[in-house]
Amino acid sequence: MKNIYKPIEAILEDIIVESPTIKTFVLRPKEPFAFKTGQFIELTLPGIGEAPFTPSSSPNIKDKIEVTVMNVGRVTGLLHNIAKNVTLGIRGPYGKGYPLDRFEGKDVLIVGGGVGLAPLRSLLFSLFEQIERYNKVVLCYGARTPEDIIYKKSISDWAKKKKVNVVTTVDVGDSNWKGNVGLVTTILKDLPINLKRAVSIVCGPPIMMKFTTLKLLDLGFKPEDLYLSMEKNMSCGLGKCGHCRIGKFYACKDGPVFTYDMLKDIPDIWD
């Protein structure tokens, strides 16, 4: 019988330093591995452990897969200290991902905080690859300081694209920073968006997700048009262990992307 927990091997082909705490790992799976934007994988460091990450690369690139990882603990710390060309494991993909067909014809507002821009980069690639399907894409991104901003070069390239607006902010600037200073919620007003045909997708730390959701509701977004990537603690990824429970849902199987409408009556969703 097939072991559903057995990862497939993937060579770590490159490591890109994005910020002092965040790196992108470029993996080449030894077997075909397809995913939909917003789905996640379990990445294994052999003999050490595994952790869930949402690929940050385009699902249309079939031979490589990128994950952008913040160093927060045991597995991610060891991953940050690994050298190129080792063999890692990946299993999945898991979850439902972003429902791109429901964004069609809409103004798509994407709000990212910190490393939360990683899953959103995969979504942005998918939107840009078929930009004619959407009315416009607006990216609002907040990082703690200028040096914590990830994908710096890509962000300035995206801002030059037709039908795309990009607004960035940092919590604390430095002597070279000429841009916005303030939490990501402070750049959400006066956006070039028609609320009658807008959807919003939010990904970031729980506290950022909470206050961004409240702000977007305040601005007039409907709960059913507000999509949240819920990064709950996960283990199996398959709806079997119960670690990722949110009310009646399992984040791994029913999510990790939910509309706020699905979650709004569940207590403590931001914990």
Ligand X SMILES: Cc1cc2nc3c(=O)[nH]c(=O)nc-3n(C[C@H](O)[C@H](O)[C@H](O)COP(=O)(O)OP(=O)(O)OC[C@H]3O[C@@H](n4cnc5c(N)ncnc54)[C@H](O)[C@@H]3O)c2cc1C
Which residues lie near ligand FES (CB under 6 A)? Answer: 234-237, 239-244, 250, 252
Three-state DSSP at 262 gives helix
Does the footprint of ligand X cover residue 232 (CB under 6 A)? yes
Of 193 and 262, CB closest to ligand X: 262
239 binds, among ligand X, ligand FES, none (CB under 5 to 8 A by kind): ligand FES
Give dist(CA 117, CA 120) in Å, integer. Answer: 5
Question: Considering the complex, what minimum distance in angstroms separates the CB of residue 119 from ligand X?
Answer: 5
Question: Considering the complex, what minimum distance in angstroms separates the CB of residue 255 from ligand FES?
Answer: 9
Longest dimension (CA), the chain: 60
Encoded one letter per residue, x for contact with ligand X by CB under 6 A and - for no contact, window 26-55 reads: --------------x----------xxxx-
Give dist(CA 211, CA 128) in Å, integer. Answer: 27
Does the footprint of ligand X cover residue 70 (CB under 6 A)? yes
Give dist(CA 21, CA 80) in Å, integer. Answer: 9
Helix axes 152-159, 117-129, angle to 10 degrees: 40
98 binds, among ligand FES, ligand X, none (CB under 5 to 8 A by kind): none
Question: Considering the complex, what minimum distance in angstroms separates the CB of residue 167 from ligand X?
Answer: 22
Strands (E), the chain: 8-19, 22-29, 40-45, 49-53, 65-70, 87-94, 107-113, 136-143, 164-170, 180-181, 198-203, 226-229, 245-246, 249-250, 257-259
**Residue 220 region by backbone torsions, left for phi larger than 0, else alpha for psi between -120 and 50, else beta:** left
Does the footprint of ligand X cover residue 69 (CB under 6 A)? yes
Q: Which of 7, 119, 142, 204 binds ligand X (CB under 6 A)?
A: 119
Encoded one letter per residue, x for contact with ligand X by CB under 6 A and - for no contact, window 77-116 reads: x-------------------------------------x-
Of 107 and 204, CB closest to ligand X: 204
Give dist(CA 133, CA 106) in Å, integer. Answer: 8
185 binds, among ligand FES, ligand X, none (CB under 5 to 8 A by kind): none
Would you state the structure tokens that stand for residue 214, as one six-digit string?
């409240």
Binding site for ligand X (CB under 6 A): 40, 51-54, 67-70, 72-77, 115, 118-119, 231-234, 256
